[in-house]
A and B are shown apart, each in its own frame.
Chain A
Amino acid sequence: MAAVTAEEPRQIDRREIESVVIRFAGDSGDGVQITGSQFTDTTALAGNDLATFPDFPAEIRAPTGTTFGVSAFQINFGARHIATSGDQPDVLVAFNPAALMVNLTDIQPGGLIILDSGTFGTRNLEKAGYTTNPLEDGTLDKFRTLKIDISKLTLEAVKEFGLTSKEGLRCKNFWTLGLVYWLYGRSRKSTTEWLQRRFASRPEIANANVAALNAGHAFAETAEMPGEISSYVVPPAALEPGIYRNVTGTDAMAWGLLAGTQLAGVKMAFCSYPITPASSLLHALANLKHYDVVTFQAEDEIAAVCSAIGASYGGALGITSSSGPGVALKGEAIGLAISTELPLIVVNAQRAGPSTGMPTKTEQSDLYQSVYGRNADAPLAVLAARSPADCFEVGIEAVRIATKYMTPVIVLTDGYIVNAAEPWRIPDMESYAPFPVAFRTDPEGFQPFLRDPETLSRPWVKPGTPGLEHRIGGIEKAYSSGHISYDAENHQKMTETRAGKIDGIAKDIPLQTVEEGTEGGALAVVGWGSTYGPISRAVSNMRAIGKDVSQVHLRHLWPLPRNLGELLGKFDRILVPEMNNGQLVNVLRAKYLLPAEGLNQISGKPFKIRTIEAAICEQLEK
């Protein structure tokens, strides 16, 4: 690896910039996601703050060269705090004409387009829907372009390794990555090491990819770059001191749930059924079996939640995961867990809907489903993660509430959060207070539904405990004994008690605070989930130019924090940006009779900062 240490042989005048947004795009088979995640790791190691947005098609390997087969990975990185994956890319790396076709409209005028001219043949242009060649017809006039026959240069770089032409072309993403690394003065070390590890059993593939990476880098260094192409330096960001790692929402959720069960002292039984974009959580936890985690791929969504409930009944913590359509199938069983008052966690990685909708596109349209979406009066707790790293905290909190209150908890993430990565200051587990579960073992005075006067939760008993044999079920139960009861007054009391138990959780969660701004004023922007990033940046920007706007972001969606109504009442106007057609906005209006207004984007994509800025300005002008 001498080539790596011999990096930066000559001093280059690099332009210092505060932040950059790069989008890599190509066929789903071009290795775009791997390129993106390698760039992410290297960028993090260089000390930048960052946010990423992997955006891939539902089709696993769509026909090559087609627009619907285009996969993309966007990263925003900088020397300052990075709140989102970026409104508009400054740089587009397009591996084929289809990638250019799909992504060009998003690129900043004057932005840099790096493209593989070797793929711009008649056949590919036709498949992408071009009638004339965009490299020649003026389409790219308002951009800076680097037209390079990457395919050919890659094949030359790897020819000594004896790969087939097809295998050789698979290295072109690393050739391109080498070039982009040079543009931003980045080290190839981490990626080189990753390639050696990843292809340890096929050294010729590892070596070919490393050679391609180095060749792309050398090309950029030695080629006469057109005058308008600069190389840049993005200095490290001023991050809070600590030890950092990159984390996706999926990994953070897996670890959060594990940490939560450890703090509670219960075994985790994770029962799930594959669905996009939730399946990755099952994969992550299936790799944590050495932590006594039991994972179970059930035969369907209903079996997944039912087996989780069975596990909770057996004294483990049953957790299931899905996306909106799957959670719909679980609805009846969630009602059973509410009725029998057993702990259960349902993680919903939301996606665009209804029905199959757009499985790989993000949305936050399952708030109603979570809070209200069951037959009868069936309250439970609902939490939402705001970012990939936040999934860790939310996972722990879900375990705490589920076990302390003997209730199902729905945890909302979304397609963006589960796939995206961000740097995470690794917390110290010693700073979390344990919340150990006390299983009931004493037969003296035992009744299965006798409640803790403080939490209103019933005792958790493991079958196998002598002297506590009892029966539970979905039929209405007599208040303490749990025997079948069709008594009218008892049903009223039980319904109110189940609601009261969930409402009471509000006493046990933090008071709502203002993220940024003041506790009262002209405008509060209230959000939940993954809109956190764009809202926080938009509010910061608007405050920086003197606008009276504050940010309130909710983690606990049900019950809502007990001071929320009072807090929001101190603002003249309330704006609720959501990636749905208006859900939290109506919950807030119904609950607090407040004149909240929605900003609703249902495009399957995260908000752009400027969209929220514009809405803030509009509200303040009213």
Chain B
Amino acid sequence: MTVQQAPVALTAKDLTSDQEVRWCPGCGDYAIIKGVRNALAEIGTPREQTVFVSGIGCAARFPYYMATYGFHTIHGRAPAVATGLKLANPGLDVWVVTGDGDCLSIGGNHTLHVLRRNVDVNVMLFNNAIYGLTKGQYSPTSRVGTKSPSTPLGSIDNPVSATEFALGCGARFIARSVDTLQKHLPVVLKRAHAHKGASFVEIFQNCIVYNDGAFAHFTDRAIAADTQIFVEHGKPLLFGKDNDKGIRLNTSALKLEVVKLGENGVTEADILVHDEKNKILATMLAQMQPPAFPVALGVLYCDEGPEYMTAVYDQVEAAKTKKKAVPMNDLLHSGHTWRVGL
């Protein structure tokens, strides 16, 4: 296994390539790349040890703008390419950049398998609930009724919940943030990086051209305090402008409910405390949607398990102790051989 180098001093500028950024002005991707660079500068992995792998879509241009190694591959296949890269060199820091179409439509199968294998890569899903690069068709995360060039009367298919899907795949690190949350995003990304195994981070990203305000119902500053909840391990699930609303488990109905401190005798003792190792809780948090609930942001689930490449290389080492790698000539002569005329 490649030994990780010690952290080095890096700035966001050091991580910026010389390529002209080609996203639309006002695109949420600008904010995300800023957050990623800040996170990476704090992590301090040497630039040559970091690789960004992407598929196709607006988000997939990301690697070109990072002064690290980068591979812009084909639609939906970044998790598979990243898995192969880790097979060759498990010591690299590998980040997969993907969009909702790339990750959950054409590449859904690869997302499933990179997560359930628990390959040590960080998957960043830029979810803007639209196909941007192909000019505005609805995506697998668009809500029902989305009008787009391919659905002039509104989309009729149910959207997929990225985090619930990832949990179902067996992902062991699930987190959420928003493009504009410049303090929160790097914190989440650093947690994702620190997690050994596949990390899945859904970032709500605004497409200013084709789906502007798709997430405004919980990201608008005016209402955000009451429509978002930042979950933290070991802390009560409280939110609201005055931090007086909370999430309580209704044990008889086996569901979550929003309660207000001081109302109907509710005290902080009634509020659920976030346990990021609790998959059932993570699933319920992932399901929360406005207006009834706030959107859960932060690390919903983190519970480390056996990492894939460690097991791959453990098997290689075990095979070596069991069988000697004799020289090729000897291998070719192993088993039944016979001599003719010598």
The 5 closest A-B CB pairs, nearest first, are A310-B84, A473-B72, A314-B88, A307-B84, A306-B80
List of B residues within 8 angstroms of A299 by Cβ: 80, 109-110, 112-113
List of A residues within 8 angstroms of B320 by Cβ: 289-290, 292
Within 8 A of B (CB), among A232-272: 236, 239-246, 255, 258-259, 262, 267, 269, 271
* B83 proximal to A (CB < 8 A): yes
List of A residues within 8 angstroms of B143 by Cβ: none
- Residue in chain B with minimal CB distance to A432: B328
* B341 proximal to A (CB < 8 A): yes
Please give the number of chain A residues whose Cβ is less than 8 angstroms from any Cβ of chain B in the complex: 70
User: B88 to chain A: closest CB distance in Å?
Assistant: 3
Q: Which of B61-69, B188-196, B201-209 lies on the face that meets chain A?
A: B61-69
Q: Which of A292, A303, A475 contacts B77 (CB 8 A)?
A: A303
Contact B2 A464 (CB under 8 A): yes
Contact A244 B338 (CB under 8 A): yes
Tell me the bound Cα distance from A425 to B342 in angstroms.
Answer: 12
* B327 proximal to A (CB < 8 A): yes
User: B17 to chain A: closest CB distance in Å?
Assistant: 7
Contact B80 A472 (CB under 8 A): no
Contact B85 A463 (CB under 8 A): yes
Tell me the bound Cα distance from A45 to B336 in angstroms.
Answer: 8
Given contacts A44-B338, A243-B342, A475-B72, contact A289 B315 (CB under 8 A): yes
* A345 proximal to B (CB < 8 A): no
List of A residues within 8 angstroms of B341 by Cβ: 239-242
* A195 proximal to B (CB < 8 A): no
Given contacts A269-B88, A311-B88, contact A302 B333 (CB under 8 A): no
List of B residues within 8 angstroms of A32 by Cβ: none
Contact B80 A290 (CB under 8 A): no
Q: Which of A259, A313, A333, A469 contacts B47 (CB 8 A)?
A: A469
Given contacts A306-B77, A313-B81, contact A426 B72 (CB under 8 A): no
Contact A190 B336 (CB under 8 A): yes
Tell me the bound Cα distance from A128 to B303 in angstroms.
Answer: 59
What are 18 A-to-B residue pairs whose CB atoms are below 8 Å?
A: A243-B342, A244-B338, A245-B338, A262-B328, A267-B88, A269-B87, A290-B324, A296-B83, A298-B83, A298-B113, A307-B80, A310-B86, A313-B71, A426-B332, A428-B329, A430-B329, A463-B92, A474-B73
Tell me the bound Cα distance from A469 to B71 in angstroms.
Answer: 11
Q: Which of A41, A47, A271 contacts B340 (CB 8 A)?
A: A47
* A132 proximal to B (CB < 8 A): no
Tell me the bound Cα distance from A277 to B329 in angstroms.
Answer: 28
Besides the contacts A44-B338, A296-B87, A318-B84, what 5 more A-B pairs have beta carbons closer than 8 Å? Answer: A239-B341, A306-B81, A316-B89, A426-B337, A464-B2
* A9 proximal to B (CB < 8 A): no
List of A residues within 8 angstroms of B49 by Cβ: 463-464
List of A residues within 8 angstroms of B85 by Cβ: 310-311, 313-314, 463
User: A434 to chain B: closest CB distance in Å?
Assistant: 12
List of B residues within 8 angstroms of A466 by Cβ: 46, 48
Please give the number of chain B residues whose Cβ is less than 8 angstroms from any Cβ of chain A in the complex: 60
Residue with the highest number of chain B CB atoms closer than 10 Å, among A255, A292, A333, A463: A463
* A470 proximal to B (CB < 8 A): yes
Q: Which of B74, B82, B333 contacts A336 (CB 8 A)?
A: B74
Q: Which of B51, B73, B339 contacts A306 (CB 8 A)?
A: B73
Tell me the bound Cα distance from A26 to B161 in angstroms.
Answer: 53
User: A411 to chain B: closest CB distance in Å?
Assistant: 19
Contact A427 B84 (CB under 8 A): no
Q: Which of B74, B91, B312, B319 contacts A464 (CB 8 A)?
A: B91
Contact B72 A472 (CB under 8 A): yes
User: A491 to chain B: closest CB distance in Å?
Assistant: 17
User: B113 to chain A: closest CB distance in Å?
Assistant: 4
Tell me the bound Cα distance from A262 to B332 in angstroms.
Answer: 14
Within 8 A of B (CB), among A467-505: 467-475, 483-484
Tell me the bound Cα distance from A606 to B109 in angstroms.
Answer: 38
List of B residues within 8 angstroms of A290 by Cβ: 316, 319-320, 322-325
Tell me the bound Cα distance from A307 to B335 in angstroms.
Answer: 33
List of A residues within 8 angstroms of B74 by Cβ: 306, 332-333, 336, 474
- Residue in chain B with minimal CB distance to A41: B336
Contact B81 A245 (CB under 8 A): no
Tell me the bound Cα distance from A463 to B324 in angstroms.
Answer: 30
* B53 proximal to A (CB < 8 A): yes
User: A486 to chain B: closest CB distance in Å?
Assistant: 11
- Residue in chain B with minimal CB distance to A289: B319
List of A residues within 8 angstroms of B46 by Cβ: 466
Given contacts A259-B328, A303-B113, contact A471 B64 (CB under 8 A): yes
Given contacts A255-B331, A299-B113, contact A467 B48 (CB under 8 A): yes
* B70 proximal to A (CB < 8 A): yes
* B19 proximal to A (CB < 8 A): yes
Q: Which of B71, B87, B112, B327 contacts A472 (CB 8 A)?
A: B71
Interface residues of B (CB under 8 A from A): 2, 17, 19, 46-49, 51, 53, 63-64, 66-74, 77, 80-89, 91-92, 109-110, 112-113, 312, 315-316, 319-320, 322-325, 327-329, 331-333, 335-342
* A309 proximal to B (CB < 8 A): yes
Tell me the bound Cα distance from A289 to B316 in angstroms.
Answer: 5
List of A residues within 8 angstroms of B312 by Cβ: 294, 296
List of A residues within 8 angstroms of B87 by Cβ: 269, 271, 294, 296, 307, 310-311, 314, 316
Given contacts A310-B83, A333-B74, contact A464 B89 (CB under 8 A): yes
Tell me the bound Cα distance from A259 to B325 in angstroms.
Answer: 13
Given contacts A294-B312, A463-B92, A465-B48, contact A308 B84 (CB under 8 A): yes
Contact A309 B72 (CB under 8 A): no
Residue with the highest number of chain A CB atoms closer than 10 Å, among B53, B68, B83, B312: B83
User: A295 to chain B: closest CB distance in Å?
Assistant: 9
Q: Which of B68, B84, B88, B89 contacts A469 (CB 8 A)?
A: B68
Given contacts A244-B340, A290-B319, A299-B113, contact A471 B72 (CB under 8 A): yes
- Residue in chain B with minimal CB distance to A475: B72
* A561 proximal to B (CB < 8 A): no
- Residue in chain B with minimal CB distance to A424: B332
Within 8 A of B (CB), among A281-296: 289-292, 294, 296
- Residue in chain B with minimal CB distance to A483: B19
* A300 proximal to B (CB < 8 A): yes
Q: Which of B66, B86, B342 contacts A241 (CB 8 A)?
A: B342
List of A residues within 8 angstroms of B48 by Cβ: 463-469
List of B residues within 8 angstroms of A462 by Cβ: 89
- Residue in chain B with minimal CB distance to A237: B340
* A590 proximal to B (CB < 8 A): no
Contact B84 A241 (CB under 8 A): no
Contact A47 B338 (CB under 8 A): yes
- Residue in chain B with minimal CB distance to A270: B87
Contact B72 A245 (CB under 8 A): no
- Residue in chain A with minimal CB distance to B88: A314
Contact B70 A471 (CB under 8 A): yes
* A325 proximal to B (CB < 8 A): no
* A223 proximal to B (CB < 8 A): no
* A60 proximal to B (CB < 8 A): no
* A388 proximal to B (CB < 8 A): no
* A315 proximal to B (CB < 8 A): yes
- Residue in chain A with minimal CB distance to B342: A241
User: A429 to chain B: closest CB distance in Å?
Assistant: 5
List of B residues within 8 angstroms of A239 by Cβ: 340-341
Tell me the bound Cα distance from A484 to B63 in angstroms.
Answer: 12
Q: Which of A41, A298, A312, A464 contacts B92 (CB 8 A)?
A: A464
Contact B332 A314 (CB under 8 A): no
- Residue in chain A with minimal CB distance to B82: A310
Residue with the highest number of chain A CB atoms closer than 10 Å, among B71, B316, B320: B71
List of B residues within 8 angstroms of A269 by Cβ: 84, 87-88
Given contacts A289-B315, A470-B69, contact A307 B19 (CB under 8 A): no
Given contacts A290-B324, A292-B316, contact A310 B63 (CB under 8 A): no
Tell me the bound Cα distance from A316 to B332 in angstroms.
Answer: 23
User: A42 to chain B: closest CB distance in Å?
Assistant: 10
- Residue in chain B with minimal CB distance to A239: B340
